[in-house]
Chains A and B, each alone.
Chain A
Amino acid sequence: MKTGELRVASDAQLVVAIGRFRHDALSEVYRRHAAAAFGLARRIVGDRALAEEIVQEVFLRLWNAPDRFDAGRGSLRTYLLTQTHGRSVDVVRAEAARRTREERDARMTSEAGYDLEREVWDLTQAEHVRDALEHLSDGERTAIELAYFGGHTYREVAVLLGEPEGTVKSRIRSGLGRLRDALVDRGMAGPWRES
């Protein structure tokens, strides 16, 4: 595959090219997905330098072990963002980041307009995502927000919201399911089946 063709190559083809040590293939993956990864990491860890380190680690992990990406189990974007999220949560839960997290939580609490919609407004299909989010109850939205963007465990979310742990677990699960269904209805996510 020539360099110029990488721009139109599928994510799966790019991963194959990365397997053949093509820097330009990794560069194209970065061009496509790094902004989302960086935005997510920065949001969770609340620190630009830490977010950069996480994104660098995630992309180097793809370079070093492209075979870990399984196209049968989801998109490359989802894979990279899952890696980014997991690493970000590790960082934010580490003792060294505790202080930053507490400061950031205080900031969040003081922002009246803090909600999921603000996080996705500039997504290309932001309107569809906003519509889908309206299918969630306030409890579901808040639980998902605190778990996903806040990096909290469901137990911590339960404490923060003063709700039973079982209720929070259920809200996260039902919220994700309803969100998924709504996005499928809007053509933003296809039915997914494991091969």
Chain B
Amino acid sequence: MSVGRSDIKVLIFGIGNPGRRDDGLGPALLQEMRGADVSRGTDALASEGARSGADPRRDEGAGAALEFRYQLNVEDAYTIRDFDLVIFADSSSGGGSGATGVGEDAGTRGPEHGAAGVTQDGANGVRKGGAAAEVVPEDVALNEIGPSATIAFTTHEMSPASVLGLCHELYGRTPRAFALAIRGYEWDLGEGLSEKGRANLARAADVLRRFLDEQ
């Protein structure tokens, strides 16, 4: 897989905690992009390819730069500033809300705290932009997002929209951005994805590859 146009700089964030089962779907997506075997567990794999701060090379896979994040932070406004296209991949508790599931409280998470900081649009599929709209499996959602000036109740856990908003204020531009929400089911302490989570991961990777091929 590769990005359709070689002049587009693409960054993919894999967001989540690999020590909380399907909360590791975001980092696991990065392994899919690298073509790695995710059945070994996502925590160790999430750090594969990690470079020290001194190494100017980025971790790359499938023609895109790959970044693992436990959670997004304010300095990610700096990270994204020079990219043309950014994908925020994170687990979802389902319902197309983009909310990142966290065990029993999964349903209470508002969209601004979820996988994308995306308000629910009720649709599963790529919308807006130049990408072709297409039907995707119901447990995967890829939605375009824009900058927001709203901060969640703690700035130590920033939504993608807030990162875009801060980037706009500090650096005068924002990349085109999409949120990739991958439905998860199990959130207990522990490594390894659930069977259904793993299946959704494969679907999500396929959706993302096709989307990037069309850019």
B is a partner of A: no
Chain A residues at the B interface, C-beta cutoff of 8 Å = none
Chain B residues at the A interface, C-beta cutoff of 8 Å = none
